[in-house]
Amino acid sequence: MDQLAATAPASDLATKHAEKSGTAAPTPQQLMAELRIRPTPGPLRNLPSGLQIFLSNGKGMAGVIILAVFIIMAALAPLISPYDPYRRAGKPHIEPGVEHFLGTSRQGKDIYSQLLAGGRTSLTVGFIAGGSATLIGLIVGISAGYFGGRTDEILTFFVNVALVLPALPLIIVFASFVEEASPTIIGLVLAFTGWGWSARTIRTQTLAIKSREFVLAAELMGEAKWRIILMEIFPNMLSFVIGGFVLATIYGILAEAGLEFIGLGSPNSVTWGTMLYWAQHAQALETGAWWEVWPEAIAIMVTGAALVLINFAVDEITSPQLRAARLGGRIRRFLKRRGRSVDVF
Amino acid sequence: MLFLLRRLGFYLAAFFVAITLNFFIPRWMPGDPTTRIVLSLRGKIKPEQIEAIKKAYGYSGSLLDQYWLYLQRLSHFDFGISTVNFPAPTSDLLFYAAGWTLFLVGVATALSFGIGIVMGIYSAWHRGGFFDSVFTPVNVMLNAFTPAVVALLLWYAFSLEWALFPLGRAHDIDLTPGWDFNSAVNIAWHATLPVISIVLVNFGAWHLGMRNTMINLLNEDFVVLAKAKGLPDRRIRYRYVARNAILPQITSLALSMGYVLGGAFITEVVLNYPGLGKFTLNAIEARDYSFIQAQLLLLTGSVLIANLASDILNVIFDPRLRTGSRH
């Protein structure tokens, strides 16, 4: 973006425009302010372009900051939680106050401590499920795309099966035969059922990269296949892998909460999902104990929203058209104000 | 035609994978249903009786024999005996519940797909504008608000606080549903809240999908040519861009049917709606394994049929597929 400021044409155009209309020419700085274009801050300039785009994207950074706060709170949970989340800390259903920051549950457990401990488990399970699903998708997708032929046919069959089979009913069958599905088991089952999407995008991407010159060059130089995959292909689809990871994590966190909420998890573990389950079980809303429901509900919503924001930023890296769409709106408004045709964009 | 036959073959194979998983999961896990029944009787049972129970549930003999018997029973839609509604066969309850779920999910999916597509077209056409920059992120975030929380919120606000909508059920207890005006109004009134909550968590995905596909198409040469020819905007927007962008959405709609159904399950549980989700939860609590396994097969079957339907739609709308060439 800073090239726009550096090159002369912008100011040239402005002077010509001014000569015609007879008003003072707006300086390049004024034009940039109107277009809301800021020069890339110094420290960012040496980073890879993808990272630059991400770091200068307001939505993405907002998501990262929200998520970072949640992760730090979850990591520090044992240090900052005032009570033991697994034990009674007071009378049942105490309203939020000085003693209990977010009140207590029907069973007299401190909600704030439970929220912290629950976040620890829910986020861990979500990230592990998302990470494993992405890893499976990556391995299957790259192998199918790169090796092609019979390998591709067989792997693509399994990718399509994983895409097409409905995950939740399968998980229900699985979880109901395992006595008390712990968060770890739920996470693993989610990874096992949720890798189809990333495998498919990564396979398509591998096919696109495979025929590029630099891969051909590496092949002609006689590099080992694993080296070509790891050093040539993988770095070129990092943003797709990260995008897949973010989506799989959203799915992991939401699905875990949903499964535990309907009582498929182990009721003794403390996660946001089981907190909702107990709140629903204790008829917290009917009895007016809103504080047993809203904290974890809001936590789930905010986590989901933060991950969605990050995903928006990653999407703009993988697809330049989407990035252009966001900036294009400003340029069109800019031109419209000057009475120019806006049909070009 | 060849394309459709290939897809049909694939769906049959995928269904077979589901059937096989459904057979093996209970046999891999520590306790199969018969062990649980035997344990619950605490030794007050003769060995012959154990054998009889095992036989009734299809757990006796070699694994291969069991598998064969299982396939034979499935081909007659025999999912076994329900332990909850004993001695009614599982299929009765299953098809009753499936009817309500199908109604709910059908209406909600049609609405959310329609709303999402319209919003997607609008925000792609005016990309970077006010609507696009505000509502695209907000709608997608709604998508990440999880069915459980959204349904709970709506239920609290509209059923409990303001009592605008009923607290559950598909229709009033004293009403026998029929094809008359009264039933229709009553059923629609009961379905409003579940439908709204399914729509809220789903339409964002279609909005974003349609928008992104359209934005990528808008820079294609054929769109530029259409503009250069001086075609009216409306025609370019709908006939040129939207028509091409909607096909991938139909495909991903079919693929995400499993996810939508999963969300509907949770919505039904929260809002106490007598669909598959509600009865599956009851079955889990009562350890009614035949029902749990039957719902998996039923849902897999419906999702596969949805995918086949989307393939057929693709063939109708995309002339490239009609020739049978690989796309």
Question: What is the per-residue pLDDT across B231-250, written as a single tens digit (0 to 9) for each?
Answer: 998 899 998 899 889 988 99
| Cα→Cα distances A3→A7, A9, A32, A37, A38, Å | 6, 11, 12, 11, 11
Listing DSSP states for A182-235 in one string gives -HHHHHHHHHHHS-HHHHHHHHHHHHHHHTSHHHHHHHHTT--HHHIIIIIIGG
Which residue in chain A is spatially nearest to B286 when comparing CA positions? A176
Tell me if chain B has a CB within 8 Å of the CB of A315: yes
The predicted structure's pLDDT at residue B18: 87
What is the pTM for the complete model shown? 0.83
For chain B, the distance separating the N- and C-terminal CA atoms, rounded to the nearest angstrom, is: 14
Q: How far apart are CA A66 and CA A73, in angstroms?
A: 11
Residues of chain B positioned with their CB less than 8 A from the CB of A167? 258-259, 262
Total count of residues recorded for chain A: 345
Which residue in chain B is spatially nearest to A312 when comparing CA positions? B137
Q: Where does the pLDDT of residue A130 fall: very low under 50, low under 70, confident under 90, or very high at 90 and above?
A: very high
pLDDT average, residue stretch B197-217: 91
pLDDT average, residue stretch B265-285: 86
Closest CB to A305 among B21, B31, B144: B144
Q: Where does the pLDDT of residue B326 fall: very low under 50, low under 70, confident under 90, or very high at 90 and above?
A: very low
Asked if residue A122 lies in contact with residue A114, where contact means CB atoms within 8 angstroms, the answer is no
> Is the bond leading into A92 cis (omega within 30 degrees of zero)?
no
Closest CB to A321 among B216, B255, B277: B216
Q: Do B266 and A173 touch (CB under 8 A)?
A: no
Residues of chain A positioned with their CB less than 8 A from the CB of B258? 164-169
Residues facing residue B89 across a β-bridge:
B81
Which residue in chain B is spatially nearest to A194 when comparing CA positions? B259
| Total beta-carbon pairs less than 8 A apart between chain A and chain B | 170
**A7-11, A69-73, B9-13: the lowest-pLDDT one:** A7-11
Q: Which helix (H) or strand (E) holds B183?
A: helix B181-218
The predicted structure's pLDDT at residue A344: 52
pLDDT average, residue stretch A148-156: 90
- Whole-number average pLDDT of chain A: 82
Which of A152, A161, A197 has the most B C-beta neighbours within 10 Å, making it the best mutation to test the interface with B? Answer: A161
pLDDT digits (tens, 9 = 90+) for A294-332: 888 999 999 999 999 999 888 888 887 787 777 777 777
Say if residue B179's pLDDT is above 80: no
Closest CB to B266 among A176, A258, A309: A258
pLDDT digits (tens, 9 = 90+) for A157-173: 999 888 888 888 888 88
> Residue A104, SS3?
strand
Residues of chain A positioned with their CB less than 8 A from the CB of B143? 308
ipTM for this model: 0.81
Among A residues 233-252, those touching chain B with beta carbons less than 8 Å apart: 250
B182 vs chain A: nearest CA distance in angstroms? 30
Q: Do A59 and B137 touch (CB under 8 A)?
A: yes
Which of B133, B142, B146, B284 has the most A C-beta neighbours within 10 Å, making it the best mutation to test the interface with A? Answer: B146
Which residue in chain A is spatially nearest to B257 when comparing CA positions? A166
Q: Do A326 and B127 touch (CB under 8 A)?
A: yes
Tell me if chain B has a CB within 8 Å of the CB of A327: yes
Total count of residues recorded for chain B: 327
Residues of chain B positioned with their CB less than 8 A from the CB of A170? 18, 21, 296
Closest CB to A166 among B132, B261, B285: B261
Closest CB to B146 among A257, A286, A319: A257
The predicted structure's pLDDT at residue A339: 78
A108 vs chain B: nearest CA distance in angstroms? 22
**A101-115, B190-204, B264-278: the lowest-pLDDT one:** A101-115
Q: Which helix (H) or strand (E) holds B177?
A: none
pLDDT average, residue stretch B247-276: 88
pLDDT average, residue stretch B291-309: 87
Q: Do B152 and A329 touch (CB under 8 A)?
A: no
Among A residues 160-219, those touching chain B with beta carbons less than 8 Å apart: 160-161, 163-170, 172-174, 176-179
Say if residue A13's pLDDT is above 60: no
Q: How far apart are CA A238 and CA A134, in angstroms?
A: 12
Please give the torsion angle defined by the CA atoms of residues B36, B39, B45 and B51, in that order, rounded to the nearest 10 degrees: 40
B179 vs chain A: nearest CA distance in angstroms? 31
pLDDT digits (tens, 9 = 90+) for B46-73: 777 777 777 777 777 777 888 888 888 8
Q: Show the domains of chain A with their CATH numbers.
A: 83-322 (1.10.3720.10)
Residues of chain B positioned with their CB less than 8 A from the CB of A263? 281, 284-285
pLDDT digits (tens, 9 = 90+) for B68-94: 888 888 877 777 666 666 566 777 788
Tell me if chain B has a CB within 8 Å of the CB of A131: no
